């Protein structure tokens, strides 16, 4: 393991004659391999002295006459007699092992060598102690006890300070140790001589763990408390010093300072620190208000509301307005937008005034006042959010979307450091969906997720809205996967969207079993979430599901409330059109021609408001004609492509598919089926029509492409109607396919047929 220069000096020592005068010094911290190097000396004429720094002056002077002398010592303590003895000597420096040397020494693979090197810093004694291990055992740490016990108290206290992260803070160390800077420097040099410090003055990771585990807990706590107090007095950060003391059962001002420090980056930790700061007692109003903020930002709305209520109830507290803002945010996420708005208005702070304005519009109240905002990121974003929502109900769709996107961009640098009742990204995405701009919605949501806008409290909402876009585009598997990725204890506002996603995906998959199973949750979600402007999307999905399950009465009061809310806002086309689109489909499913025509007429009245409304209106008229059996292939294809252009990909494919199975024109059917498949993002086969009508396959062991699609869905448990809905063919055609396959395969029963199909599909996969 010796490099060439050191090997050269060793050879020179071993080859020296008895009369030669040669003095060699091996100076290195403990554990660097001095003793191992001395053991390589075979020349008996050489006087070898190890640990020379431990000899007294008389013993050192007695070595002066030796002609051949090799001394090994640590660089501290510095002794005048030792310096005199080694003046002019050949110095052999020893350095830590490199990563490759560790690997060679232990004869291990790269992963283990990397781990050992990272833990030991390459110090040979520590490398040998850890060995070829992939984890640090208690025995390895216990081996440090003897080294730590014989250190003097000041050096032990320094190591505890270094373990706390203060190894390079001379000001803190000076106050902690009661020494001047020169004396502190000497203590640091003594610590370096132990071999436990890395080049940058911090503890080697293995030594760090040893100091932490082998020192009595009360000593570690005392040192950290003292360091934190000293740091607090200097106005410096204390979080790193205080965090390990969270479970020590102590409190005080340093915990309060640490909590405020952690609030923007880790609100859950901040909440724990606020709690610890009270020492188990009752928090002050100021602490409770800050603690409520941290709890809300961490997603603990129960805790936030409880703490905020305590502060609001204290009539003489100047922190009631802050607590009211926290409670208002929590209630907005709970779906209680009206009550949230009341609290924001009562708080009467600039931010609260803007959010109250958004809440007023969301609950059906128009107003003209625009409260001034502070010149901050949050102030600017809140002002733009209010402006954008106001524009969305005033008919300025493009301006509304632009304003909300700008608000979202403005708030991105803040990340999760702000407490929001709703994010500008979520509002922008809702407006984008309602006006047929899915790409804008996708972009703004992606950015919000990437930057963590609104923190934990908004993350679920952003992900649910991303899933909603996938559902509208017919990417049902991706939508469900995204939904499953945010499974948990949803707040009511998120829950209504999550359940609506389950319902929407099940309906689009013709999965009646899941639809029935989820419907009770949907009804409960609607009961828990009062109707507001920003929850109309789920209502539209629930309306279609209710029609499918013939349970419209349970949803009727909520739909009436939604209609009343829209009327109070002047029936803004941006928000009304999408709801009427959902209700149109509910009426079609229910075979209620009168209601369908009513919603088509409502869409027609919105048609002049925007391109999106015009596309929905045209598609609604076309859909009613298709249901009535009047299929104009050109018109259907134009309407379907229009729907696809505004993000309603599944609806577009569905319209073309429904028209295809209702037309008696063979050529039109082929064209519309091709259109449906293309809009669904599936390839079109030139032979598909022949397979749909009269499948002819000579080899009984093979299935045509269409038969394979039908067989796959049937063996998965779908009914003929569900398969037909998925593939845009009639249930009769599915039955025809199954009969042909049964005849060709010679199946004697349905179970026999399904068994053969599973075998064929499995063999071909």
Query: What is the mean pLDDT of the segment spanning 701-708?
Result: 75
User: Among the listed ranges 57-66, 241-250, 561-570, which one has the minimum average pLDDT value?
Assistant: 241-250
Query: What is the mean pLDDT of the segment spanning 80-92?
Result: 91
- Angle between helix 424-434 and 377-393 (nearest 10): 20
Query: CA-CA distance, 114 to 691, in Å (whole number)?
Result: 61
- Angle between helix 377-393 and 573-589 (nearest 10): 60
User: Among the listed ranges 529-533, 595-599, 674-678, which one has the minimum average pLDDT value?
Assistant: 674-678
At residue 455, the pLDDT reads: 92
Query: CA-CA distance, 361 to 532, in Å (whole number)?
Result: 9
Query: What are the φ and ψ backbone dihedral angles of 584, each rounded to 5 degrees?
Result: -60, -45
Query: What is the mean pLDDT of the segment spanning 56-76?
Result: 92
* 442 Cβ contact partners less than 8 Å away, ≥ 6 residues apart: 466, 469
Q: Which helix (H) or strand (E) holds 759?
A: helix 750-764
Query: CA-CA distance, 765 to 115, in Å (whole number)?
Result: 43
Q: Which residues pair with 73 in a beta bridge?
A: 27
Please give the CATH topology (third level) of the domain spanning 282-372: 1.25.40
Q: Which residue has the tokens 């990397």?
A: 114
pLDDT above 70 (res 433): yes
The per-residue pLDDT for range 531-562, each reduced to its tens digit, is 999 999 999 999 999 999 999 999 999 999 99
The per-residue pLDDT for range 341-352, each reduced to its tens digit, is 999 999 988 789
At residue 699, the pLDDT reads: 43
- The closest of 424, 347, 352 to 384, measured between CA atoms, is 424
Query: What is the mean pLDDT of the segment spanning 8-24?
Result: 89
Query: Are the CB atoms for 68 and 21 separated by under 8 Å?
Result: yes
Q: How confident is the model at residue 762 (pLDDT cuts 50, 70, 90)?
A: low
pLDDT above 60 (res 313): yes
Query: What is the mean pLDDT of the segment spanning 7-28?
Result: 90
Query: What does the mean pLDDT of the chain come to?
Result: 89
- The closest of 134, 76, 140, 132 to 104, measured between CA atoms, is 132
H runs (alpha helix) in 628-749: 633-645, 649-662, 666-679, 688-693, 705-715, 720-727, 731-745
pLDDT above 50 (res 697): no
Q: How confident is the model at residue 765 (pLDDT cuts 50, 70, 90)?
A: very low
Token pair belonging to 148? 């730590």
Query: CA-CA distance, 489 to 244, in Å (whole number)?
Result: 29
Query: CA-CA distance, 424 to 428, in Å (whole number)?
Result: 6
pLDDT above 50 (res 692): no
Q: How confident is the model at residue 690 (pLDDT cuts 50, 70, 90)?
A: very low
Token pair belonging to 152? 């003097």
Q: How confident is the model at residue 286 (pLDDT cuts 50, 70, 90)?
A: very high
Please give the CATH topology (third level) of the domain spanning 4-95: Rossmann fold (3.40.50)
Q: Which residues pair with 25 in a beta bridge?
A: 71, 91
Question: CA-CA-CA-CA torsion for 541, 647, 566, 556, nearest 10 degrees?
Answer: -10
The per-residue pLDDT for range 604-656, each reduced to its tens digit, is 998 777 899 999 999 999 999 999 989 999 999 999 999 999 999 999 999 99
At residue 504, the pLDDT reads: 95
Q: In terms of pLDDT, which residue wins out, 433 or 741?
A: 433
- The closest of 532, 358, 362, 418 to 371, measured between CA atoms, is 358
Query: Are the CB atoms for 393 and 573 separated by under 8 Å?
Result: no
In CATH, what class is 699-764? mainly alpha
* 250 Cβ contact partners less than 8 Å away, ≥ 6 residues apart: 221, 225, 276, 279
At residue 561, the pLDDT reads: 96
Share of the chain above pLDDT 90, in %: 67
SS3 25: strand
Query: CA-CA distance, 226 to 241, in Å (whole number)?
Result: 10
Share of the chain above pLDDT 70, in %: 96
pLDDT above 70 (res 448): yes
| Domain map (residue ranges) of the chain | 4-95, 100-262, 282-372, 699-764
Query: Are the CB atoms for 74 and 193 separated by under 8 Å?
Result: yes
Length of the chain: 765
Residue 139: exposure state from Cβ atoms within 10 A (0-12, 13-18, ≥19): exposed
pLDDT above 60 (res 520): yes
pLDDT above 90 (res 295): yes
At residue 78, the pLDDT reads: 86
> H/E/C letters for each residue in 293-328?
HHHHHCCCHHHHHHHHHHHHHCCCCCCHHHHHHHHH
pLDDT above 50 (res 522): yes
At residue 640, the pLDDT reads: 93
Query: CA-CA distance, 683 to 642, in Å (whole number)?
Result: 20
Q: How confident is the model at residue 698 (pLDDT cuts 50, 70, 90)?
A: very low
The winner for highest mean pLDDT among 278-282, 628-632, 751-755 is 628-632
The per-residue pLDDT for range 126-138, each reduced to its tens digit, is 999 999 888 999 9
Query: Are the CB atoms for 606 and 617 separated by under 8 Å?
Result: yes
* 507 Cβ contact partners less than 8 Å away, ≥ 6 residues apart: 515, 541, 544, 545, 548
Q: How confident is the model at residue 281 (pLDDT cuts 50, 70, 90)?
A: confident
* 198 Cβ contact partners less than 8 Å away, ≥ 6 residues apart: 121, 204
Query: Are the CB atoms for 454 and 418 separated by under 8 Å?
Result: yes
| Most distant CA pair in the chain, distance | 121
Query: CA-CA distance, 623 to 607, in Å (whole number)?
Result: 16
Query: Are the CB atoms for 284 and 252 separated by under 8 Å?
Result: no
Q: How confident is the model at residue 5 (pLDDT cuts 50, 70, 90)?
A: confident
- Are domains 4-95 and 699-764 of this chain identical in fold? no
pLDDT above 70 (res 695): no
Query: CA-CA distance, 68 to 48, in Å (whole number)?
Result: 9
User: Among the listed ranges 69-73, 251-255, 743-747, which one has the minimum average pLDDT value?
Assistant: 743-747
User: Among the listed ranges 222-236, 581-595, 674-688, 740-754, which one has the minimum average pLDDT value?
Assistant: 674-688
At residue 186, the pLDDT reads: 92
Token pair belonging to 383? 């002002």
């Amino acid at each position: 393991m010796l490099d060439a220069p050191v090997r050269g000096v060793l050879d020179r020592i071993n080859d020296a004659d008895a009369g030669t005068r040669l003095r060699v010094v091996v100076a290195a911290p403990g554990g660097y391999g001095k003793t191992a190097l001395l053991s390589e000396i075979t020349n008996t004429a050489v006087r070898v002295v190890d640990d020379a720094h431990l000899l007294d002056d008389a013993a050192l002077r007695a070595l002066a006459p030796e002609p051949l002398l090799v001394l090994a010592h640590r660089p501290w303590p510095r002794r005048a007699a030792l310096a005199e003895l080694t003046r002019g000597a050949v110095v052999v420096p020893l350095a830590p092992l490199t990563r490759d040397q560790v690997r060679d020494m232990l004869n291990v693979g790269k992963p283990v060598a990397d781990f050992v090197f990272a833990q030991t810093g390459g110090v040979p004694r520590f490398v040998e102690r850890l060995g070829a291990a992939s984890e640090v055992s208690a025995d390895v740490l216990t081996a440090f006890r003897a080294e730590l016990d014989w250190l003097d108290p000041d050096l032990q206290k320094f190591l505890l300070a270094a373990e706390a992260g203060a190894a390079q803070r001379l000001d803190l160390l000076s106050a902690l140790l009661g020494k001047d800077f020169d004396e502190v420097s000497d203590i640091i040099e003594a610590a370096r001589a132990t071999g436990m410090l890395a080049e940058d003055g911090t503890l080697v990771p293995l030594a760090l763990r040893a100091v932490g585990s082998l020192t009595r807990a009360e000593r570690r706590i005392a040192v950290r408390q003292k360091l934190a107090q000293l740091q607090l007095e200097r106005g410096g950060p204390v979080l790193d010093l205080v965090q390990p003391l969270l479970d020590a059962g102590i409190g005080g001002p340093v915990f309060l300072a640490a909590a405020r420090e952690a609030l923007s980056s880790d609100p859950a930790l901040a909440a724990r620190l606020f709690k610890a700061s009270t020492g188990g007692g009752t928090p002050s109003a100021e602490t409770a208000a800050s603690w409520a903020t941290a709890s809300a930002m961490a997603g603990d709305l129960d805790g936030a509301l409880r703490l905020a209520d305590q502060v609001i109830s204290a009539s003489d507290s100047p922190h009631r307005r802050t607590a009211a803002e926290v409670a208002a945010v929590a209630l907005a996420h709970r779906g209680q937008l009206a009550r949230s708005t009341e609290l924001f208005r009562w708080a009467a702070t600039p931010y609260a005034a803007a959010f109250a304005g958004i809440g007023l519009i969301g609950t059906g109240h128009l107003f003209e006042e625009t409260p001034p905002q502070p010149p901050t990121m949050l102030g600017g974003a809140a002002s733009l959010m209010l402006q954008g929502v106001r524009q969305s109900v005033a008919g300025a769709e493009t301006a509304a979307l632009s304003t909300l996107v700008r608000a979202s961009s403005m708030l991105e640098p803040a990340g999760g450091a702000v407490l929001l009742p709703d994010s500008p990204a979520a509002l922008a995405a809702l407006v984008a969906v309602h006006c047929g701009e899915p790409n804008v919605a996708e972009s703004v949501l992606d950015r919000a997720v990437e930057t963590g806008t609104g923190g934990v409290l908004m993350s679920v909402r952003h992900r649910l809205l991303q899933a909603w876009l996938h559902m509208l585009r017919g990417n049902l598997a991706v939508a469900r996967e995204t939904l499953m990725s945010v499974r948990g204890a949803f707040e009511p506002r998120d829950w209504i969207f999550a359940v609506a996603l389950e319902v929407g995906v099940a309906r689009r998959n013709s999965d009646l079993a899941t639809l029935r199973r989820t419907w009770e949750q949907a009804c409960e979600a609607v009961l828990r979430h009062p109707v507001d402007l920003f929850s109309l999307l789920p209502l539209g999905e629930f309306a279609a599901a209710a029609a499918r399950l013939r349970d419209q009465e349970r949803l009727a009061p909520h739909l009436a409330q939604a209609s009343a809310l829209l009327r109070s806002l002047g029936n803004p086309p941006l928000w009304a059109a999408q709801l009427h689109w959902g209700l149109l489909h509910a009426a079609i499913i229910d075979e209620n021609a009168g209601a369908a025509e009513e919603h088509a007429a409502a869409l027609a009245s919105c048609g002049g408001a925007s391109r999106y409304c015009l596309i929905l209106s045209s598609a609604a008229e076309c859909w009613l004609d298709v249901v009535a059996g009047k299929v104009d292939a050109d018109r259907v294809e134009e309407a379907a492509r229009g729907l696809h252009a505004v993000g309603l990909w599944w609806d577009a494919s569905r319209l073309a598919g429904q028209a295809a199975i209702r037309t008696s024109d063979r050529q039109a059917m082929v064209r519309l089926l091709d259109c449906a498949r293309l809009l669904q993002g599936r390839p079109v086969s030139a032979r598909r029509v022949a397979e749909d009508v009269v499948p002819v396959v000579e080899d009984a062991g093979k299935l045509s492409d269409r038969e394979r699609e039908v067989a796959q869905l049937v063996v998965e448990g779908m009914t003929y109607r569900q398969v037909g809905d998925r593939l845009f063919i009639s249930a009769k055609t599915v039955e025809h396919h199954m009969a042909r396959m049964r005849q060709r395969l010679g199946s004697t029963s349905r179970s026999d047929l399904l068994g053969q199909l599973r075998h064929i599909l499995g063999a071909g996969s």
